[in-house]
Structures are given as C-alpha cells and as structure tokens.
Amino acid sequence: MTEMLNKEEQEKELLSLLQRQDMELFREKFLDWHLYEQGQFYLSLDKKERHLMYAYLSPKEMADMLDVIEEDHEGLTDYITEMSPNYVVAILESMYTDNAVDILSQLEEETARKYLDRMKPETSVNMKKLLHYEDKTAGSIMATEYVSIVANQTVRSALTLLKKKAQEAEIIYYVYVVSLSNQLVGVISLRDLIVSDDDMMIEDMMGERVISVSVNEDQEEVAKMIRDYDFLAIPVVDDNNHLLGIITVDDIIDVIDDEAASDYSGLAGVDVEATTESSFQAALKRLPWLVTLLFLGMSTASLISHYEVLISEASILAVFISLITGTAGNAGTQSLAVAVRKLAVSDDKELNFFSLVMSEILTGIITGAVTGVVIFLVVGFWKQNFPLGLVIGIAMLCAITIANLAGSLIPILMEKLGFDPAVASGPFITTLSDLTSVLIYFNIAGLFMPLIIGSV
C-alpha cells in the first residue's frame, strides 16, 4: 500500500513538473522510471500535456517507450498522428522494425506512405517488405534486428562482430549461423560463445539442428513452437531457408494475448478488446449478433406455440421449460469452451475429432443422468407427481447430452471448413440448445401425457 501511495505521489509530482514546464527536472525524474512506467504515464496525459512531452523527449527516448507500449493501447495511432511528421519518422526509425511496422499497419495507407517516403531508403524498403506480409503470419511479427555470423570464422571474430551489432539487435542470446548466401545453417548460444576458446571455429561448435519457422506460418503455430521448445526467440526463413528475421518471446506474449482475446470474443459474441468505444459504437457492433440470435429465439418461441395443446392439457409443463433450456445451454457452453481449448493445444486433429466428441457425449450422459435423477426426485416430491419428474429427468438427460454433442461438434466442423472454431460463440450454442431442448422436452412429455394428467 505504501509503495502504491509513493507511486501516486511520484506521478503527481511528475505531472506537476510537466505542467510547470520544468523540462530539466522533469526529464531527470521521468527517464529514471522503467520504460513501462513511462508509457503508462504518457497514456494518462491529455493532448496538451503530451505535446509538452514531445518537446522534452528526443525521438529515441520516445521510441524506447513506444517499443514497450505499442501493443497495449488501441488509440496509440491517434497519438502518432498528432506529432509532427519529422518527429514521427525519427521515432519509427529508432524503434525495432517489427514494432514500427505494427504501428504503420494500423495507420491509414496514405498516412503510412507519407512517413515511409520520409525515411532513410534502406529503412523504408525494409519496412515496406514487412508490411506486405499477410497479417497474423510469422512475417508480419518478425524483427529484422538480429545477429548472424558465418560458419568459417573464429569465436574471437564472432564476438567482435557481436559487440558491434548488440546495440541494435533485439535479442543476442541466440546467434544464428548463415552461409555466404544467407541460408540458415546453425545456431550458437551467447553462453557457448563466451566460454569457448577464442581460436575455435564456429562450424566446429555450432548446433546444426536449427528449429525455424516459415515466413508464412500462422502466428498461433509460432506461439505453440516457442512454448513447446521453451525458446526466447525463433528464426524465420523463406522457402529456400534464407534467414529473414526472428520472432522474440515478447512478441509471442502479445500474440497469445491477442489470440486469447479473440477466442473469448468469439465465445462471448462480442469484441472484448473494444474498451474505449462509445456506447453507441458498442451497440452497433453487438446488434448483428443479437438480432440473429433473436430470430433463432423466435424459432424456439414458435416451437413452444406448436405445443400449445399439450401445455393446455398440463400447464405444469410450462413451469420447467426455462429450467431445462437453461441447464442444457450451460452444458453446451461448457462443452464448447473445452472443445475450443482442446483444438487450440492439440496437434493431432484426426484423433482429436473422435476422442473429443466421444468424451463430450460420455460427459453429457453422466452429467445428464445425475442432474436427471436429482430433478426427478425434487419434482416428484415437490409436486407429488413422479411421472412429471420422470419426464423432466429424461428430458434433462437427453438435452444435456445433445448440448454437449453440439458444443464439441460445431467447433470441430468449423475448423474443418477453415473457420476459427472460437466463432462458434456461447450465445449461439445456448440459443441452439434452447431449440433442441424444447423439442426433446415436449416430445417426451407427449409420450407420458396420460400419466402426467392422471397424477395432477
């Protein structure tokens, strides 16, 4: 608590220095903070205060800060465009290439081109190449600041080269070995370089089995590889094994966050990352799903009206409609979440199809049987109508089993068709479960109607 209060006091002091335009003292205290803390302070300022910061901080100091926060704030591009063009260009040139490209890709095409045209030719060409890679691929998130050496050099010369390039490289813990034609042939850890004899040849100590990814590989697959191999970085190559760049673990953490948010958005049927939009914008984005589900819900209502005669004969049936549909919907959503997760972490898709569906059917039967028995006893003693309890219990068993089957089968089928399985959202599964549950419930009730009426 004391540390938090001290932090708040420091922020107030820093803001006061900025507003008083005490540049020297502001810079001294601000640059002493961690880059993440600098970024959070910057994002908390209003436009006038941000403009003071642009005057006080060099492009390199702003670039270092933006390298840390560029993935954390969806309105960052608005801040970029409020700066002077020359200042923006200097910032982008000082940032790691992958982070600068991320910002450029979010800008309007004409604005991005304006900045690229003002850059140094070599930097501009490099960024344009990265911008042409398809979104969410290895090429779109890779960095081109890496250290590479050739096989026919000594450790001494490699360390000399490393010292020269280390300042610009995004990560130096892995040193990649390339041929004269820039084909990836090996890798050496920084530790091995440091402890090895200075006159030892690189080709005699490098690891020749290099794990790499294609430039067109999906970013989610790259994230799995870095997780599985416990890498800090992974090299990116083209079809001819030419080294193009590297993807570091910090970029993969951003990918994992994005994928998790995307999956959760699909399950919820709403963009959970749109935290800064107005209520009107939020409503416009949510309405298409809600209207679609409304029409599906109308199907359920029409189906219930089809059984009006049945309900008129035993009105007690209407009391338990929401109980059955709600429980089945919850079961279907649980099954959907498990299915999406298993598909995300499993590499054996064919085995996954059968094992996942059978597992969820068995789970549905077990949970449905237990809840069915419980509701049979509760309704039987509560309403003194055990035939009614039996109807509801059997309907519960069948509805939950079908909901589990749908929750597991739909995302698998969507993946087979090339769609993101997480798009099979929870609200859709819930509404679909309502429809099937009502159909099951009233058909079973129709079979037992004489017994139900006789016990009322």
pTM above the 0.75 mark?
A: no
151-to-69, 168, 181 alpha-carbon distances in Å: 37, 22, 12
How does DSSP classify residue 204? Answer: G
DSSP string spanning 62-93? HHHHHHHHTTT-TTHHHHHHTS-HHHHHHHHH
Domains 2-132 and 148-251 share a fold: no
pLDDT tens digit string along 279-301? 777 677 677 767 777 777 788 88
396 vs 380: CA distance, rounded Å: 15
pLDDT at 335: 85
Q: What residues are paired with 137 via a beta bridge?
A: 218
First to last CA, the chain: 63
Higher pLDDT, 81 or 418: 81
pLDDT tens digit string along 444-455? 998 888 877 766
205 vs 40: CA distance, rounded Å: 44
pLDDT at 256: 79
Least confident of 54-63, 333-342, 373-382: 333-342
pLDDT at 25: 93
Checking if the pLDDT of 267 tops 80, the result is no
Q: Which of 179, 190, 192 is nearest to 149 (CA)?
A: 179
Task: Check if the beta carbon of residue 314 is closer than 8 Å to that of residue 445.
Answer: yes
Q: Which of 123, 133, 75 is nearest to 97 (CA)?
A: 123
Checking if the pLDDT of 353 tops 90, the result is no
381 vs 397: CA distance, rounded Å: 19
Grouping H, G, I as helix, E, B as strand and the rest as coil, residue 408 is helix
Q: How many CB atoms lie within 10 A of CB 61?
A: 18
pLDDT at 2: 44
Range 148-251 has CATH code 3.40.50.150: no
421 vs 435: CA distance, rounded Å: 21
pLDDT at 264: 59
Q: Which of 155, 149, 191 is nearest to 169 (CA)?
A: 149
355-to-243, 358, 414 alpha-carbon distances in Å: 39, 5, 17
418 vs 426: CA distance, rounded Å: 19
Higher pLDDT, 300 or 422: 300
Higher pLDDT, 413 or 187: 187
Checking if the pLDDT of 71 tops 70, the result is no
Confidence of residue 425 (pLDDT cuts 50, 70, 90): low
Task: Give me the chain's average pLDDT, please.
Answer: 85
Rg (C-alpha) for the chain, rounded Å, is: 30
Q: Which CATH class is domain 279-455?
A: mainly alpha
Provide the strand spans (E) within 136-237.
148-150, 174-178, 184-189, 213-214, 233-237
Checking if the pLDDT of 422 tops 70, the result is no
Grouping H, G, I as helix, E, B as strand and the rest as coil, residue 424 is coil
Confidence of residue 24 (pLDDT cuts 50, 70, 90): very high
pLDDT tens digit string along 213-254? 999 999 988 998 998 899 999 999 999 999 999 999 888 888
What are the sequence ranges of the domains in the chain?
Answer: 2-132, 148-251, 279-455
CATH node for 2-132 = 1.25.60.10
Q: Which of 361, 392, 401 is nearest to 374 (CA)?
A: 392
